[in-house]
Structures are given as C-alpha cells and as structure tokens.
Amino acid sequence: MTDTLDSLNTIDLSVEDSVARIYLNRPDKLNAFNAIMHHELQAVLTEIVQRDDIRCVLISGRGRGFCAGQDLGERQSDNDQVLDLGDTLDQGFNRTIRLLKRIKAPIICAVNGVAAGAGANLALNCDIVVAKQSARFIQSFSSIGLIPDCNGTWVLPKLVGMARAKAIAMLATPVDAEQAENWGMIYAAVRDEAFDDWVEARIEELAKRPTKALTHIKALMDESQQNDFDSHLERERNAQRLCGLSHDFKEGVAAFNEKRKPQFKGH
C-alpha cells in the first residue's frame, strides 16, 4: 500500500493541517475511472481510514469535470466474451464506497464540473456535497442499458424522493447544480468564481470542529433510515454519553461560559 501511495498517477493526495485532500486526476478523460484509478483511490481511502489525525477530507476533480464515471473504453470487447459487471463492481465502486463510509472524519465533495454515472453517485455518498453553478449531475446509466450503481439506487431516493429519483434515473435527465440544491440532492450550488474560496472556508471550519461528535453525527444519520424509533433513541443516548466524556465537550462548555471561541482537539 505504501508503494502505491508513493507512486500515484491518477489520484492526487496531500495531507496538511489534519486535512486530507483527494483529487481525481485523469482530466483528459473527465476523471473517468479505469482499473488503475480504482486501485489507487482504494489505497488512498484505506490509508485515511487507518489514520486518527485526519479531521476533514476533501474529494474533488482536476480539470473541467468532477468525474464521468467508469471509463467505457475498458468495457469494450472485440469478441463475444461476456463481461461480468457484478464482479467488476465488487472490485471497483462497491469496494470504494464501503471504504468511503468507514472514514470517520467529515467528507466534503467539491463537484467542480460534470458528475455523470458512478461519478455522480460517488459524490452523493459524501457527507457535504457542494457544486459549481455550472456543474451538472447525470444518471446516465439507462442510456447504455444499465442501472445506477455506486449506491445510486439507495442514496438518490433518500435525497430527492422516489418520484424524482425514478425519473432522473430512467430518463437520464441532467440536473444542474441549482436544481440539485433546490431538490436537496446537494448542500449548495456556489458561483463558479467564488467556489474555491467557499470550499476552503468550509474545510477550515470543519477541521476545527469537534471531530468525534461529527463522526457520531455521520453514523447516526446514516443509520436513521434502518433503525426503528426505540433503537435509534438508544443509539443517540450511547453516542451522547461518549461525547459527554470527551475533551471537546468540556472545552465547548467552558468556551460558552467564558464567551470565547472553543479550541477543539478532535477527541
């Protein structure tokens, strides 16, 4: 894994001031995934999962697009060989999404351009999704006879409702960033010229907040669709108990009473 991280070609990774910045880096292909990119992103996410010092993660794309999904050039066959897309999903996007969900720190996805196919759903599986006003989200799967993968059929109805989700997926209708914000698909659509500064401000803010509390917020909200009422109250109780024992809770109360900004340590 270390050798992979030392020789990344399709992923840019930097870690500074407790922030991990991940950029998809195949701009000539609109950051579409090939086998190498799957492998490298999974190695990067595995590293981040194992680190306790990361307090915020950024995922974005190089060039004019965020991600065009799977590189269909790798899906062409010159003979009658049958492609097992289920197996390739297990080794590719499904493994990536599972790693993404294991990251404890908040994940901001900065959609800098078109997000199509699995690229759109990779973004929607992050915690806070923001997009340039010029960006678009396209569930392009039905146009080539497929279904939304990369957790798309799970996450999309929960964000925009069943009626819109079915129409978006079946018609492959592009959704611009402002419409995505209005529908609750993403957190915010930001003017292109203000986008980078806006994202940096959110990263700085998240990296200074009580990371363990944010971790529990992520987990509880992700579980909320499956938990019943009573079990979810119990999960909230258990999480609040742990938060109440943390340094950051004590610091937060002290800062409130002393009328100053808290200095959270993330633990």
pLDDT at 1: 47
Q: For each of the chain's 267 residues, which pLDDT tens digit applies? A: 456 787 899 999 999 999 999 999 999 999 999 999 999 999 999 999 999 999 999 999 999 999 999 998 876 655 567 788 998 899 999 999 999 999 999 999 999 999 999 999 999 999 999 999 999 999 999 999 999 999 999 999 999 999 999 999 999 999 999 999 999 999 999 999 999 999 999 999 999 999 999 999 999 999 998 999 999 999 999 999 999 999 999 999 999 999 999 999 998
- For β-strands 56-61 and 107-111, DSSP reports them as parallel
pLDDT at 267: 82
E strands present in the chain: 11-16, 19-24, 56-61, 65-67, 107-111, 114-116, 128-132, 136-138, 175-176, 188-190
On whether the CB atoms of residues 105 and 49 are closer than 8 A, the answer is no
pLDDT at 42: 98
On whether the CB atoms of residues 2 and 40 are closer than 8 A, the answer is no
What is the distance between the alpha carbons of residues 250 and 197, in angstroms, rounded to a whole number? 32
pLDDT at 94: 96
What is the distance between the alpha carbons of residues 56 and 51, in angstroms, rounded to a whole number? 12
What is the distance between the alpha carbons of residues 248 and 72, in angstroms, rounded to a whole number? 47
What is the distance between the alpha carbons of residues 172 and 29, in angstroms, rounded to a whole number? 20
The type of residue at 124 is L
